[in-house]
Amino acid sequence: MSGVITGFAIILAVIGAGALLARFGIIGNEREQLVLNRVAFYAASPALLFSAVAESEAKMLFSPVIVVIFFATVGTSLLYLLISRLFFRQDLPTTTMGAASASYFNSVNIGLPVSVYVLGGATYVVPVLVLQMVVFTPFVLAGLNSGKTGGRSPAARVVDSLRSALINPIMLGSLLGLAVALTGITIPDPAMRPIEILGGAAIPMILISFGSSLRRTAPLSSLEDRPGTIVATTLKLAGMPLLAWLIGLGLGLPAEQLYACVILAALPTAQNVYNYAATYQRGIIVARDTVFLTTFGSLPIMLAIAFLFGK
């Protein structure tokens, strides 16, 4: 499990750097913090996603593990929506962030080391990244954008939100990368290397912004957002792995693939969720607090899963 511990150590160290920068006034206010999120959203993250997806093998994009993760993600999101509707009402963008925080896991800077060192390779996590970006991200961004469409009809709001989600830089980078992977086109190094360098800035900028935001508001300090955060955190750490296990059992997956499904489902909430919330300025507290809590809580959960599977 050394790869898991290394992945967590990297994340926490960069978050700590962001908190220190805020503490000493180098990142002085929310406007300066937002600059990091916007650069990551509009430039660095699209470059990262394009290079990651474009360099993946097309034959790796389809496996039973992807089927399980798809239904586990949908099921966990629906559970959050149901609990939210029954016990605490939120506006649509905040509800979207809660559902995403409960089900959209970190498939890059924790998912990759987990896949390589715990599962033996990136076979399972790269297809999951494609699934998240191409299938689920448009719905997340559509939900975030739904609060900015004025007094138009519900149908018009849905169409506008989906259109905006599909043409944003995150989606364009993912779709272009998928097109390159499926067609087998080789991007020349003089074009690909600058994209990779730009993409390498995405995660540090998001984590530094995240760390600086902790200086202003402690996790779970917002009474209004606390129920959504607790539900999202519980579903992410316990509900989604359990659901993935049940679905995998129902599909008759062999032990290795079942283990992969449960371990991936136990990964913490992706920092991308926080970046989306910060960029759109909606549901920020729920997204930020869930990322923070699941980042600390998922390590013992994954160690317990490894023990139960005899790994």
pLDDT digits (tens, 9 = 90+) for 33-72: 888 888 988 898 888 878 877 877 666 667 788 999 999 9
Mean pLDDT computed over 166-188 = 83
**Whether residue 218 has pLDDT greater than 90:** no
CA 295 – CA 233 distance, rounded (Å) = 10
pLDDT of residue 209: 84
Q: Give Dmax (Cα) for the chain.
A: 56
For 74, half-sphere exposure in the C-beta direction (CA atoms, 13 angstrom radius) is: 8
Residue 311 tokens, joined: 């790994």
Q: Which has more pLDDT, 279 or 198?
A: 198
Give dist(CA 33, CA 22) in Å, integer.
Answer: 9
DSSP lists the bridge partners of residue 269 as 105
Q: Would the pLDDT of 76 be above 90? A: yes
Q: Which two tokens stand for residue 113?
A: 């080391």
Structure tokens at 130: 């494609």
For the record, the structure tokens of 182 come out as 């499926």
Q: Write the pLDDT tens digit of every residue in 294-304.
A: 988 988 898 88
Round to whole Å and give the CA distance between 183 and 34: 36
Domains belonging to the chain, first-starting first, are 2-308 (1.20.1530.20)
- What CA–CA distance (Å, rounded) separates 225 from 26? 28
Question: Is 175 strand, coil or helix?
Answer: helix
Q: At what angle do helices 271-280 and 137-145 cross, to 10 degrees?
A: 30
- Cβ neighbours of residue 226 closer than 8 Å, sequence gap 6 or more: 220
Residues in contact with 256: Cβ distance below 8 Å, sequence separation at least 6, in sequence order = none
Looking at residue 40, its pLDDT comes to 86
- pLDDT category at 150 given cuts 50, 70, 90 is low
Q: What residues contact 135, with CB distance under 8 A and at least 6 apart?
A: 70
With 80 as the cut, is the pLDDT of residue 108 above it? no
Coil, strand, or helix at residue 105?
Answer: strand
Residue 211: pLDDT above 60? yes
Helices 92-103, 137-145: axis angle to 10 degrees equals 160
Model confidence pTM above 0.95: no
Strand partners, 48: none
C-alpha torsion 93→294→34→9, nearest 10: -160
